[in-house]
Structure 1
């Protein structure tokens, strides 16, 4: 399949310690790709390099064939590359609905000039953004908390809201960082279902970093295994789980 994200020969060191060592990864367009590995394997560092919050020492990141290595995270956002966080970053005093309405960039109401001279245009755009936000809340199953301050939501509801925020943009690739962390099993099922629907119905490509192996097994194909800053293996979860080196490097390390 055609790669939408191409990570080419990335290296990253911190204080003389090499965390990512000549690592190359290709994320196929339309896939839900999982990334696993033992603690210290370099997953979070590579994730942050792809997201644009960390610069590599060398190597290149391409989005749909276009180099984006030097682009900051907010410009990658405008190109459709988004991320969620292990700890949700909601606007706690705004309602769930308002959190979604904050996402679309360059809204007319953000311009003082437009509020003075184009109030009708501002109202129409705001009504459309509100309508879209309500549709997203319906999609992710949070309609009943639409007027609840986001800070009052449960951990799982906040993760759903973060996923909903990606739907308020022209998202193409969504990087999911430990989205299962702190989520009860019922809401985790909702999260997985929504990710699958976004992939199937809206064409989202996902890269998932996750320690919950049940979630990886249910959701991801292929799965990339990192160890010591390099790709050890890539393939279906059945192959990954049965590979002797992976059992030693990852599953053995987890049970030690």
Structure 2
């Protein structure tokens, strides 16, 4: 689905990412872990189109998307979430979802005047779709709540729901577990698993919660000092001396702090 080939990026004299290559296979939930400063967020931003690489290539289903801006990648089916959710706080949860679909007729003044019946029909379909998403994520009980009043975990579920309002083929999840209580974290993990299993979503996940990574992700990519140092399933990576030294630490429980 996503191919990262020898991608590098420097900021002044700091080499944040150095010739990183790996593939996010179609239908997989691929993890990306590493210590603070490993280059994970920089790589994510490159894949998502927020910053261009200095060298290397990114391909989405064989198409070269290197350096394309975020809004163009959105239309190609590559979307992302953020460590800190970016909801419209003074709009309801349902309204936050209904904003997402692109090129709505109601956004065009002329079409609103001349084809109002089509606008109404489209709005009804978007409303139905938003309610389906809320039911899927089991947050339909807060549909009319202002998004700014949600808990951290509910905001993460809303963020995931917004990806479901697109024609996403691949989703980049940036620390979905950050700031989420254990109960809602389980619900979030279950939603990701169901989207992958039932609807064929492909995910690439940055996360510091090793239990969540172990539950969701196979394979897992490990970065340190801007380089890819290992890949595999979490069971094998926990026993990898290079990974233990760089990230997990000998005798670590596998839980680390936040930050990238």
Q: 1:123 aligns with which of 98, 120, 123?
A: 120
Q: Does 1:85 align with 2:63?
A: no
Instruction: For residue 191 of structure 1, give the secondary structure of its aligned residue in structure 2.
Output: helix
Structure 2 residue aligned with 1:66 = 63
Check conservation: 2:53, 2:67, Cα contact below 8 A. Answer: no
Separation (CA, whole Å) in 2 of partners of 1:17 and 1:158: 34
CA distance in 2, matches of 1:152, 1:41: 34
Q: Secondary structure at the match of 2:249?
A: helix
Q: How many Å apart are 1:16 and its aligned residue?
A: 1.3
| Residue in structure 1 matched with residue 224 of structure 2 by the alignment | 227
**Mapped contact 2:46–2:67 kept (Cα < 8 A):** no
Q: TM-score, normalised by structure 2?
A: 0.95
- Post-superposition shift, 1:17? 1.0
Q: Distance in 1 between matches of 2:78 and 2:234?
A: 25
User: Displaced runs of 4+ in structure 1, greater than 6 A?
Assistant: none
Q: Deviations over 1:211-241 (max 9, x none)?
A: 0011001111001001111111110110111
Query: Following the alignment from structure 1 to structure 2, what is the Cα–Cα distance between the partners of residues 239 and 171?
Result: 31
Distance 1:190 1:77 in 2: 26
Partner of 1:104: 101
Matched with 1:142 is 139
What are the superposed Cα offsets for residues 124-175 of structure 1, whole Å, 9 maximum, x if unpaired?
0000000000000000011100000000000000000000001101111000
**What is the match of residue 250 of structure 1?**
247
Q: Please, which runs of 5 or more residues in structure 2 have no aligned partner?
A: none
CA distance in 1, matches of 2:20, 2:174: 19
Report the more deviating stretch, 244-253 or 24-33. Answer: 244-253
How many angstroms apart in 1 are the aligned matches of 2:57 and 2:216?
28
- Please give the root-mean-square deviation of Cα atoms over the aligned residues, in Å: 1.1
Aligned to 1:38: 35
Q: TM-score, normalised to structure 1's length?
A: 0.97
- Structure 1 residue runs without a partner (length 5+): none
Q: How many residues align?
A: 252
In the TM superposition, 1:130-209 aligns within 5 A as 130-209=127-206
- Give me the whole-angstrom Cα distance separating, in 1, the residues matched to 2:121 and 2:177: 37
Partner Cα distance (2:197, 2:248) in 1: 30
Contact 2:28 2:203 in 1 (8 A): yes
Who is 2:214 aligned against?
217
- Secondary structure of the structure 1 residue equivalent to 2:121: helix
Secondary structure at the residue paired with 1:179?
Answer: coil
2: CA distance, partners of 1:131 / 1:194: 19
Task: Tell me, in whole angstroms, the C-alpha distance in 2 between the residues paired with 1:132 and 1:20.
Answer: 39
